[in-house]
Amino acid sequence: MNGAESLIRTLVDAGVDHCFANPGTSEMHLVQAIDGTTGMRPVLCLFEGVCSGAADGYGRMTGRPAATLLHLGAGFGNATANLHNARRAGSPIINLVGDHARHHVAFDAPLTSDIEGIARPFSAWVRTSRSAMGLARDGADAVTAAMTPHPVSTGQIATLAIPVDCAWGEGSGPVAVPQPQRPATVSGDRIEVVARQLDAKTLIMLDGSGLSAAGQMAAARVAAATGCQVMAVTFPARTEQGPGLPPLARLPYFPEQVIKTLAGVRRIVLAGAEAPVSFFAYPTTPSDLVPNDCDVLRLALLQEDVVGALEDLATAVGAPVHPPQLNAVQRPEGITGALDTRKAAAVIAATLPEQAIVAVDSGGGGAAAVPCQTAAPHTWLNLTGGAIGMGAPLAAGAALACPDRPVLALLGDGGAMYTNQAFWTQAREGLKVGTVIFSNRQYKILEHEYRRLGVNEVGGRAASLFDIGGPDIDWPALAGSMGVPGSRVDTAEGLAAAIERGFESDGPFLIEAMI
Amino acid sequence: MNGAESLIRTLVDAGVDHCFANPGTSEMHLVQAIDGTTGMRPVLCLFEGVCSGAADGYGRMTGRPAATLLHLGAGFGNATANLHNARRAGSPIINLVGDHARHHVAFDAPLTSDIEGIARPFSAWVRTSRSAMGLARDGADAVTAAMTPHPVSTGQIATLAIPVDCAWGEGSGPVAVPQPQRPATVSGDRIEVVARQLDAKTLIMLDGSGLSAAGQMAAARVAAATGCQVMAVTFPARTEQGPGLPPLARLPYFPEQVIKTLAGVRRIVLAGAEAPVSFFAYPTTPSDLVPNDCDVLRLALLQEDVVGALEDLATAVGAPVHPPQLNAVQRPEGITGALDTRKAAAVIAATLPEQAIVAVDSGGGGAAAVPCQTAAPHTWLNLTGGAIGMGAPLAAGAALACPDRPVLALLGDGGAMYTNQAFWTQAREGLKVGTVIFSNRQYKILEHEYRRLGVNEVGGRAASLFDIGGPDIDWPALAGSMGVPGSRVDTAEGLAAAIERGFESDGPFLIEAMI
């Protein structure tokens, strides 16, 4: 058994069952191993940013790593933006990157690249295999690394560069991977310290598993007993939402909004979250958004047992068994007329299928988060790292992870262009993914930020960089060119009908919503 | 005058007149500076890989750097694959990468990234600005770095990370950039050493400026006087071709073909080229493709005055003033019937406009290189670094560099998907770029490489990774969705008519050629 087959069998035995792939010549032995091994589903993506974004979606929904299969430094480079997002999401991913044979590197052939150098800023673990006999062991170590809780994430990105001679040489056979570590339990002392500080001027901030249903329920019980507030971070990787869960606000985006929200808060308790900071720096607002007279207490790190800590905290404060207030079903009704972002969000809440997974990129879709809380139970996946182009690949990965659940991607037109190749994979795999493009034919956020500089007159050269119309992108035609049926709507009733019709089919669909 | 304006004026004064941009919030002051400064044309690209590929095309055609404008590490990451190609092409490029304010980095906001770490593998020069007052000087140094001849290229990639506080703070005003260095002259001693070695068993290998018209003419004169052979490297960045120039073969791609081509060669003279190596490593062929009993002599490095060296060599061997054989006009005629790659290449030769620029990615288009030698005078731009997705952006950059010349991009369907956003920029800017997609709905090269492993039966999982049909990509619809009119042809006469019709317009067009 060669190194490649030893590696792939190792991964399959450890539960790595999906590989988002765009291979090249140096990966052919790995393709051969996947071809000959049952248990790993290869999913072709026509651009590597789709591979990494899909692996992120898969990891967020299963808690297990998918593999990517990438072609040297250039292929890894194409994957980096969504790896940046995945790193911020705490998703476990194993990147398999083919490299030249070890004896070939010194010849500096055209594709020669510093894979470790490129991978390091995006990976918690990087290794280049040194022998065919050791390749399966390297793969096992990659699984362990991907599943290791990390100071700033729950999973990690592990990147294994595989010189082709390590793939084609005689290997070890499969290697067993130890069970992953469980999240550490938070000490009773820490619970006690926090329990004494909870009052109406305290805000518990949730992230990570704190935003699971169990985490939110425990936090709401604490709030009921102590009068404290509870909020989610601005860009959580994954949140459960819907009827039967407590209402949950999110920290806003712009620093002046955050400052206003936190005015009067004297203590922030971090439950899987980090203290709030400004997304970008501005000349007139601070980076650190914790009020001057506010203490910050750590209940649980993201990689610790956040749910257990919140439940222990509820017990310590003598909280009621059930939160007093839960979201009731209240779907918006009778929304009609010309679309805008607010109406589109209401229509999405009105039509959201039960148990949907919602994947959001930049640009408008986030507006649906609040109305959807009273729609149907669903999972919400957010843009985490600020690198646009995450939503469509993320939706594909989530759909493969949860084939019984409908997926709704809410994408800005600017971000969706970045990784439009994801629509092809959605069609190829027959995924139940609906996409709503919030189409305003602008990088709207940029014009907004530009005016925040104090600019009143936007000149022609600047305007040309914010305007993505001229030519207007025809989204139904673009999606249709890759096998995804599309339509365009400009009214609320049209959007509602298109979403309902779309989810009657089992495959992907796209709606360009003119806002 | 703030740092941003000081920087942009410095670049404009140094002749940097195009900026391929996809800015974000941290680049708004740079956008403001571009808006307020005449002389720099911002070109919006809807994905950063288009920015870097277009800058490569611009640099190859003008010898001067264009700027890119990118958004932190994630934006730079998206640009990396085509920067890899540009680095291999020796193209000068200046990347302007917005970064968080220096005081903001420590807060690890979501977009925080190790820009220098990501940039270093793709750049010859990397700097992060340390002050607003020093930003223009940093920009001047970036221009100098980009224009500095380098051991393995004629131009370089310079990456300047710009903390936003360096953009918004008070700057120095514009800084003058010294004239770039001229390529070094090759010594008479080296010319003499080479001159003594030239006979029928000698091969002169050309690259860089050796492939200019003057370089080819000088090399052909040397060949006429000494009986030596002349060849181009496999993947030259830029070659002049056509009637009035000497016939020129290229070294083939696969190692066994190179070995066969070089059998009997006893001396290789490198004129801007490097000694031939295998593109990939294989178990049964060597990396070093120089025959065992063959000497390698260096006439001129890529960054030296290769043309001058070849002309001095011609003088030293008493070469005739004119090469004895030049390509005559001989356009293929009467090509009809169902298309295949060979017929498509002949049709392209038959219809190639005068003074065209041909930009080639992977996948079929290269087949037209030989028949085009007797078509019309043209410039040929090749895929250099093996990272697919270069062709469409390269064509856009070349068209902006040379607005009076028609550009023809010959792209495989697999590679064209990578950076399909380039079609939008072609439409936005009204560029005279025709694109022929060689559409076989396969990663054909991969199936070929897979069979080279000795595999006779391609299983379903492997086949799924080579097949990019199912769903078939509708290229005319894809291009049309971004404002580029498209058509599909499956006959030679259909392709000829579509090319001729396309170049009658002044804007871009696309033809899906079913091969």
User: The CATH number of B3-168 is which of 1.10.620.20, 2.40.30.60, 3.40.50.970, 3.40.50.300?
Assistant: 3.40.50.970
Task: Show the tokens assigned to B98.
Answer: 């917005």
Quick: pLDDT tens for B418-453.
Answer: 999 999 999 999 999 999 999 999 999 999 999 988
Backbone angle region of A437, left / alpha / beta, with phi > 0 → left and psi within -120 to 50 → alpha: beta
* Helix axes A28-36 and B444-452, enclosed angle (nearest 10): 80
Per-residue confidence (pLDDT) for residue A227, from 0 to 100: 98
Put simply, whether B26 touches A (Cβ < 8 Å) is: yes
> In the predicted model, what is the mean pLDDT of chain B?
96
Whole-angstrom distance, CA of residue A286 vs CA of residue A354: 41
Per-residue confidence (pLDDT) for residue A363, from 0 to 100: 85
Whole-angstrom distance, CA of residue B164 vs CA of residue B161: 9
Q: Where are the domains of chain B?
A: 3-168, 188-316, 341-514
Per-residue confidence (pLDDT) for residue B153, from 0 to 100: 66
Of B36, B461, B481, the CB nearest to A35: B461
Per-residue confidence (pLDDT) for residue A299, from 0 to 100: 98
- Give the helix ranges, DSSP H, for A43-187: 48-62, 72-89, 115-119, 135-146, 164-168
Per-residue confidence (pLDDT) for residue B258, from 0 to 100: 98
Which residues in chain A are closer than 8 Å to B108, comparing Cβ atoms?
152, 274, 277
Is the pTM higher than 0.80? The answer reads yes
Residues 6+ apart with CB under 8 A from A235: A88, A382, A383, A384, A386, B110
Q: Which of A113, A118, A167, A165 is nearest to A139 (CA)?
A: A167
Per-residue confidence (pLDDT) for residue B151, from 0 to 100: 62
Whole-angstrom distance, CA of residue B9 vs CA of residue B16: 9
Fold of A188-316: Rossmann fold (3.40.50)
Put simply, whether A290 touches B (Cβ < 8 Å) is: no
Nearest residue of B to residue A451, measured between CA atoms: B28
Whole-angstrom distance, CA of residue A385 vs CA of residue A236: 10
Contact B427, A471 (CB under 8 A): yes
Nearest residue of A to residue B288, measured between CA atoms: A107
Nearest residue of B to residue A430, measured between CA atoms: B471
Kindly give the pairing relationship between strand A407-412 and strand A433-439: parallel
Per-residue confidence (pLDDT) for residue A152, from 0 to 100: 60
DSSP code of residue B272: B
Cβ–Cβ gap B103/A23 under 8 Å: no
Cβ–Cβ gap A387/B74 under 8 Å: yes
Whole-angstrom distance, CA of residue B30 vs CA of residue B7: 8
Residue ranges of chain A with pLDDT lower than 50?
none
Cβ–Cβ gap B459/A36 under 8 Å: yes
SS3 B163: strand
Mean pLDDT computed over B104-116: 96
Within a 13 Å sphere around the CA of A31, how many CA atoms are in the beta-carbon half? Answer: 30
Whole-angstrom distance, CA of residue B349 vs CA of residue B357: 13
Mean pLDDT computed over B218-241: 97
CB neighbours of residue A178 within 10 Å: 10
- Residue of A29, A34, A40, A46 to mutate when probing chain B, most B C-beta within 10 A: A46
ipTM of the complex: 0.97
Whole-angstrom distance, CA of residue A9 vs CA of residue A15: 10
Comparing B113-117, B154-158, B352-356, B422-426, the range with the smallest average pLDDT is B154-158
User: In this structure, what are the phi and psi dihedrals at residue B81, rounded to the nearest 5 degrees?
Assistant: -60, -45
- Give the helix ranges, DSSP H, for A147-286: 164-168, 188-195, 213-226, 255-262
Whole-angstrom distance, CA of residue B444 vs CA of residue B435: 20
Question: With a CB-CB cutoff of 8 Å, which residues 435-464 of chain A face chain B?
Answer: 445-446, 449-450, 453, 455, 458-462, 464
Q: Calculate how close chain B gets to A327, using CA atoms only, in Å.
A: 30
Nearest residue of A to residue B418, measured between CA atoms: A47
Is residue B152 over pLDDT 70?
no
CATH class of A341-514: alpha beta
